[in-house]
Amino acid sequence: MMQSVVPPFDAAEIIQPGGRPLPTGLDERAKTYFVPTKDGITLRVLLAQPETKSPRGTIIFSPGRTEFIEKYWETIHDLTARGFCVFMVDPRGQGLSDRVLPDKLKSYIDSFQTYADDLSDMTKQFDAYLPRPHIAMGHSMGGTIVLQSILSGVLAPSAVICSAPMLGLFDLETPLMRWVIAGLAKVGLGEKNLPFQSQRNGMPVSFTANKLTTDKDRYKIWSSYFLSVPRLRVGQPTFGWISAALSSMAYVNRNAENLRVPGLLVAAGADPIVDPSSVEEFAKNAGVAYDVIPGALHELFLEKDAYRNHFLALIDKFLEEQAL
C-alpha cells in the first residue's frame, strides 16, 4: 500500500446490514472518515488502498442521488484489484454525510456547484493520500457532478469516466417542465417534495417495479441497506433539487466542447431514467469516447454480470488506450 500513515480525520462508521462482510481484503484496505467542509458540513469519505504496493493512480468517485459508499463495495473491490486507490464521498444530504435540511429524508441541494466544490475540497484535503494520475468517475448524478467539477475548474483529473451520466432526464427535460420547476423553486417551494414519485420515505420499491437493474440479487443487497438502516434513507427529490439538477445539466451540456480531458461516457441501452441519446450527444460535442450497453437498465454497476462485465471491459480498454 502506498500510505501507512493514517489521515488526520475522525474515523467514520461502515454500515454492514446483518453483519454482511466486506469483499475479501477490503476490511483491511478500506477506511472511512468524517471530514468537515468550509461551510461547516461534515462529509463521510472512503479511502480504499489497492492490492498492489505500487498504485496505478486514484479513482475519485462520485455516486448518484440517494447513494452511499457501501453500495459500491463490489465496484471498489474491482477497481482496487486493478491497482487503483479509490476515493469516494457521500454527497451532502446522503449516506452518513450531514443532511442539508431539518427533515433528513428530503433530497435537496441549492446548486450542483456545491456538490462539485465538496468533491474538490475533499480531494484537496486528502491530496497526500491520493496517488496520481487522478481519474474522476461518476454514476448518474455523480457523472453530472464530476463533469461540472471539471468544467468549472475545481477538479483537474487526467481523465473522466461516467456511467449513465445525468445529462437528460426522461419526462422532466422539456421546456415547460423546466419553467414550472424553476418557477416553483423560486417562489419558496424549493424544499417541497416533487409529487407523484414512487420512492416515498426513502424506502425501495419492489424489484419488479424498479428501474435500476435486472439483477435481483444485487438489487436485494442494495435494498437491504435502506430497509435495515433508516439513517441511510433519502426520499424523493424536492423542487429545489430538480431545479438545481436541470440547471447543472444545462451548464454541462452547454460547455461540452470545453471538456479538455480524455473521457469515456457509457449509457445504459434500456435506461428508463437518463436518456441515452443525451449521453451520446454530449460525448460527440465533447469529443470523448461513447458506448452503450444494450438491454441494461440505469445502474450499470449493479447490473447482471453480462452487462456489468461489458462495462468493466470498456473501462479497461479506455484506461489502456490512455496509458492510465
164 Rama class: left (phi>0) / alpha (psi -120 to 50) / beta: left
pLDDT at 296 over 70: yes
| Cα three-residue angle 44-46-52, rounded to 5 degrees | 170
Q: Which residue has the higher pLDDT, 240 or 134?
A: 134
CB-based contact 245:166 (threshold 8 Å): yes
Q: pLDDT band at residue 2, thresholds of 50, 70 and 90?
A: very low
pLDDT at 121 over 50: yes
The span from the CA of 60 to the CA of 127, in Å, is 11
User: 141-151 and 112-125 are packed helices; what angle lies between their axes, rounded to 10 degrees?
Assistant: 70
- At residue 168, what are phi and psi to the nearest 5 degrees? -170, 120
Helix (H) or strand (E) run with residue 134 in it: strand 134-139
Q: How many CB atoms lie within 10 A of CB 274?
A: 26
pLDDT at 263 over 70: yes
Q: Which residue has the higher pLDDT, 17 or 117?
A: 117
Average pLDDT over residues 294-316: 98
Q: pLDDT band at residue 260, thresholds of 50, 70 and 90?
A: very high
Q: Report the mean per-residue pLDDT for the chain.
A: 91
58-87 tens-digit pLDDT: 999 999 999 999 999 999 999 999 999 999
- Among 139, 112, 121, smallest CA distance to 249 is for 112
Q: Tell me, what's the pLDDT at 176?
A: 45
Q: Tell me, what's the pLDDT at 183?
A: 58
- At residue 170, what are phi and psi to the nearest 5 degrees? -60, 145
The span from the CA of 120 to the CA of 133, in Å, is 15
Q: Tell me, what's the pLDDT at 172?
A: 60
Q: Tell me, what's the pLDDT at 237?
A: 86
Q: Which residue has the higher pLDDT, 118 or 175?
A: 118
CB-based contact 289:324 (threshold 8 Å): no
Q: Tell me, what's the pLDDT at 202?
A: 87
162-191 tens-digit pLDDT: 999 999 998 664 554 555 555 555 655 445
CATH classification number, 10-104+112-171+256-321, choose in 3.30.300.90, 3.40.50.720, 3.40.50.1820, 3.30.70.270: 3.40.50.1820
Q: Tell me, what's the pLDDT at 166?
A: 97
Average pLDDT over residues 213-217: 98
pTM reported for the whole predicted model: 0.92
How big is the chain, counted in residues?
A: 324
- At residue 262, what are phi and psi to the nearest 5 degrees? -60, 145
What does the buried/exposed string (b/e) look like for 99-131 if buried means 16 or more CB atoms within 10 Å of the residue's CB?
A: bbeeeebbbbbeebbbbbbbbbbbbebbeebbb
Rg (CA), the chain: 18
101 Rama class: left (phi>0) / alpha (psi -120 to 50) / beta: beta
